[in-house]
Structure 1
Amino acid sequence: MTGVALAEELLLLAYDDETGKATMPRISLDLGMAAAVLIELALAGRIAFTDGNLTAVDPTPTGEPVADDVLVRIAGDSPHTPSSWVQRLRHGLRDRILGDLCSQGVVRDVDETELGFIHVHRYPVVDASVEADTRRRLADALTSGLAPDERTAALATLVAVLRMESALGLSDGAAESARHRLAEIASGAGFSGEVSLDDSVVRPSVGLVVAALAQAVDAALGPRR
Structure 2
Amino acid sequence: MTGVALAEELLLLAYDDETGKATMPRISLDLGMAAAVLVELALAGRIAYADGNLTVTDPTPVGEPVIDGVLERMAADDPKSPSSWVQRLRHGLRDRILGDLVSQGVVRDVEETELGFIVVHRYPLADPAVEEDTRLRLSAALADGQLPDERTAALATLVAVLRMEPALGLTGEAAVDARRRLEEIAGGAGFSGNVSLDDSVVRPSVGLVITALGQAVDAALGKRR
- Give the AA of the match of 2:183: A
- Give the AA of the match of 1:217: V
Which residue pairs with 1:73 in the alignment?
A: 73
- Separation in structure 1 between the aligned mates of residue 64 and residue 158 of structure 2, nearest angstrom: 19
- Separation in structure 2 between the aligned mates of residue 132 and residue 113 of structure 1, nearest angstrom: 31
Do the aligned residues in 2 keep the contact of 1:194 with 1:207 (CA within 8 Å)? no
- Give the AA of the match of 2:75: A
Which residue pairs with 1:214 in the alignment?
A: 214
1:6 counterpart = 2:1: no
- Give the AA of the match of 1:27: I
- Separation in structure 2 between the aligned mates of residue 201 and residue 2 of structure 1, nearest angstrom: 21
- Separation in structure 1 between the aligned mates of residue 200 and residue 193 of structure 2, nearest angstrom: 14
- Separation in structure 2 between the aligned mates of residue 17 and residue 30 of structure 1, nearest angstrom: 19
Which residue pairs with 2:28 in the alignment?
A: 28
Shift of 1:75: 1.1
Which residue pairs with 2:154 in the alignment?
A: 154
- Give the AA of the match of 2:45: G
Which residue pairs with 1:176 in the alignment?
A: 176
Do the aligned residues in 2 keep the contact of 1:157 with 1:183 (CA within 8 Å)? yes
Do the aligned residues in 1 keep the contact of 2:19 with 2:124 (CA within 8 Å)? yes
Shift of 1:10: 0.3
* Alpha-carbon displacement from aligned partner over 1:157-199 (angstroms, at most 9, x marks no partner): 0000000001000121111011110011111112224565556
TM-score w.r.t. length of structure 2 = 0.96
3-state SS of 2:203 partner: helix
Which residue pairs with 1:89 in the alignment?
A: 89
- Give the AA of the match of 1:220: A
- Give the AA of the match of 2:139: A
Shift of 1:150: 1.3
Gaps of at least 5 residues in structure 2 are: none
Specify whether residues 67 and 58 from structure 1 end up closer, same or farther in structure 2 by C-alpha distance, changes over 3 A only. Answer: same
1:63 counterpart = 2:54: no
> Number of paired residues?
225
Specify whether residues 193 and 61 from structure 1 end up closer, same or farther in structure 2 by C-alpha distance, changes over 3 A only. Answer: farther
- Separation in structure 2 between the aligned mates of residue 149 and residue 33 of structure 1, nearest angstrom: 21
3-state SS of 2:39 partner: helix
Segments ≥4 residues shifted beyond 6 Å: none
Gaps of at least 5 residues in structure 1 are: none
CA root-mean-square deviation: 1.4
Structure 1 range deviating more: 110-119 or 65-74? 65-74
Q: Structure 1 vs Structure 2: percent identity of aligned residues?
A: 81
